[in-house]
Structures are given as C-alpha cells and as structure tokens.
Amino acid sequence: MRKNLWRFLGLAIAIAITIISCHSLPKPNYVTVKLSGWGGSPVEQKLLTQVLQGFAAEHPKIKVKYEVISDQYMDVMKTRLVGEAAPDVFYLDALEAPFLMSQNVLEPLNNYITPKFDLADFEPTLLNSFKYQNSIYGLPKDYSTLALFYNKKAFAAAGLNTPPTTWEELRTYSKQLTGKLNRYGFGEMPELARQIYKIKAFGGQVIDANGYAAFASQQALQGLQLVIDQYRQDRSSAQKSDVGTNSGSEMFGQGKVAMVIEGNWSIPYLQETFPKLEFATAEVPTINNKKGTMVYTVAYVMNRQSKHKAEAWELISYLTGKAGMQKWTGTGFALPTRQSVAEKLGYEQDVLRSPLVAGVNYATPLQVGKHPAAIVNNFDNQFISALLGQQPLKQAMLQAQNEVNQQIRAME
C-alpha cells in the first residue's frame, strides 16, 4: 500500500513538473508573416526564394511562410478574404486591383510610407494602378510593356534595314515578309489585353466613366479594324492557333512569323529556347500618329485583417525597396518599377530592353474597372469571331458590349 502511494506521488510530481515546464517554455522570438502568389516559372520561384533569404538575413525576428496558389488564384484569394483566412501579404494584378481596392479588404499603405522609402522613385503609371480614393493599396514589384520583336535574318532577306515606325509601315513590311523565310509577316494576339492601345489611338475607350463597356464606339472600332484588315484582307498575320503554337513568343521563335509584339518575358525565353535566333526589338509602331503600348504590373498588397501589419509592411518595403528590387530584377527576368533601379541596372541602354523601358512613359495599364472578367471574356469571344469572319466587327463588338453591360447591371 505504501509502495503504491509513493508511486502515485512520484507520478503526480512528474506531471506537475511537466505542466510547469510547458508553461515556462519561452515563446518563439519571431513573428510569422504569410505571403502568397501564383505559381510562376521555376526560374521565378528560385529567384523569389533567394530574395526572401535576403529578407530573412536582415529581419531575423520575422519568418516568411511563402505559399504558391497554382490554380484559380483570384477565386481562392477572394474566398479567403471573405473568410478572414487570407495571407498577410499577397500578389495583386493591376487588372484585378480596382475591385479589391473598392471592397475594404486591403490595408491602405499611406501611413506606413516614410520619406526614406522614396515613393517618388516609382514609375507614376505603375503606382497609379494601385491608387483608389487618394489611398495607395499596393506597391508594384515589376512590370512589362510591349515592344516589337523582329527577325533580323528575315528583314535582311526582304531588303528591310530598319524596323517599322508606323502601323502603316508594319502592314507593308508584313506583306513583304509573308511567304519568305517565314510563313507570315506578323503574329497577332487578339485578346483585349493586347488591343487597348489600338482602341485608344483613335480616341476610343474600353469603359466609360461609370464603368460600363464602351468598346463598340466608332473610335474604338477604327483601332480594331486595323487587326481585322491585316488578318483577313492582307493575309499577312496569323494567330498562334493558325501555326500550331501556344504563344506569340513561340510562333516567333519557331520562325512561323517574322514580327510579333511581345513583352519582356520573351527575351529570356527566346535566348534560352532558340539560341540561334537573331532578333532585335523596337518600340511599338505609332497608330494615328500616337505612341502606344500596354503595361502589365503586379503589386504586393496587405490584407486589412492581418494580425501582423508592422511585420507585413517590413516585408513589402523590403521587396519593393531599392535593394530588394535590384535583387529581384537584376537578372533581367523582370523590369524594375523604381526608376533608380532601372538606371542602376542599365536597362535604358540595354539593346533589347530599352524599347520596353521607353514604353512605360506612354503605356496604357491593363485595367478595365471593377468587373474585368465580364469585359475581357465577352470582348475576346466576339472579337475573335470577327477576326475569323464569322460576323462583321461592329456587330460583334455591339453584341459583346451589350452582353457585358447586362452582366454588370446584374452585379450592381
């Protein structure tokens, strides 16, 4: 009996010691910040890992947990924001920004930004894509405009010495290049994401002041008609599906087309995949005597429900600060949104990237209001049907515009 009593007391003491020990264990001396983005190429993922390692070295008390959302990124993010389960910091594309900025789910960054951060260093066009009602909701991490890529051997074979500077010249060149070294002179990407600057060249717009679709106006149709005429009348341009490829870069790299209008992402792809290809770049030819191109950008934004806002800002400010951005864009994989970093890396003098950098001064951001899916999907479906000759352009665009505006009214 006494032996059992001693065993019981010994067990009770052991349990008590364990409980006391657990309560006295030191809490972690770091804060975990969750970061989410969509899945990029292996090169991009490796590069981001390296940049985050640099952040960790400078901020030992902040641990970054990085999560890749590889499918249906915005749907997942919207669901998590509603359910208060979103990460502290995440990627936001400029196309999706107007809707989220209007929903009171993002943290305004104005009060975090100090003079030392040097906000004026950012390209204004890019920064403005993440402003809403006088608040800044995101800081752009990188960007790309569009530039003309042309095959130097094809140009030489056709007796062409310089790239076209106007759209009329591009069409003339395209006819001369078709059927020579390349099946077609020009590779066309008919999606709205590549066409907005053509709509704007004649005074058209994609949406009106109230956010409704307006791309069926006479001015907008003038810009879009250029694409139709080159494809259907000249027969000197091709879509990627016409030549069995998956992208504009691929049809250009494979020699299916002699010219294509693409972004910065094409440069490393072409150099690695088609190392023997001799190509050059130039600014997008003017339309109606106006310079134009597109610009695509993505920002880091903060979740308004974040429990670690100070630490989340430390991460954002590092990734979009001068040192962090130089690490991210130093390989040429992406273009820096800070002017000082672009200057330091010499991209304004880079023979292939300088036309892309020049374009940011007059580029149109890919941004079409608070209902981008309705606008993009309806435009793309109907414009391609007009391109294929299934219906006149005006009829196609009116049908798309009416459908968009019905959907928007139903959502409001």
Q: Which of 172, 188, 319, 163 is nearest to 241 (CA)?
A: 188
Percent of the chain predicted with pLDDT > 70: 93
Q: Which of 245, 284, 49, 42 is nearest to 163 (CA)?
A: 284
- Superfamily grouping for domain 146-294+368-411: Periplasmic binding protein-like II (3.40.190.10)
Classified by CATH at the fold level, domain 31-144+296-365 comes out as D-Maltodextrin-Binding Protein; domain 2 (3.40.190)
Q: Which of 62, 90, 64 is nearest to 76 (CA)?
A: 90
Average pLDDT estimate for 150-175? 97
Give me the pLDDT at residue 132, please.
Answer: 96
DSSP string, 105-170: -B---TTT--GGG-GGGB-HHHHHTTEETTEE-EEEEEEEEEEEEEEHHHHHHTT--S--SBHHHH
Average pLDDT, the chain: 93
Give me the pLDDT at residue 40, please.
Answer: 77
Average pLDDT estimate for 187-195? 98
> pTM here?
0.91
DSSP string, 296-351: EEEEEEEBTT-S-HHHHHHHHHHHTSHHHHHHHHTTSSSB-SBHHHHHHHTTTT-T
Domain ranges of the chain: 31-144+296-365, 146-294+368-411
Q: What share of the chain is helix, strand, coil (3-state, %, to 5)?
A: 45, 20, 35
**Which of 8-17, 48-57, 249-258 shows the lowest mean pLDDT across its residues?**
8-17
> For residue 11, is pLDDT > 60?
no
Confidence at 1, pLDDT banded by 50, 70, 90: very low
> For residue 259, is pLDDT > 80?
yes
Structural contact between residues 332 and 270, judged by C-beta atoms closer than 8 angstroms: no
Give me the pLDDT at residue 338, please.
Answer: 97
Structural contact between residues 79 and 71, judged by C-beta atoms closer than 8 angstroms: no
Radius of gyration of the chain (CA): 26
Q: Which residues pair with 68 in a beta bridge?
A: 37
Structural contact between residues 121 and 340, judged by C-beta atoms closer than 8 angstroms: yes
* Whole-angstrom distance, CA of residue 148 vs CA of residue 299: 26
Q: Which of 306, 311, 309, 310 is nearest to 87 (CA)?
A: 306
Domains 31-144+296-365 and 146-294+368-411 share a fold: yes
Average pLDDT estimate for 280-293? 98
> For residue 342, is pLDDT > 90?
yes
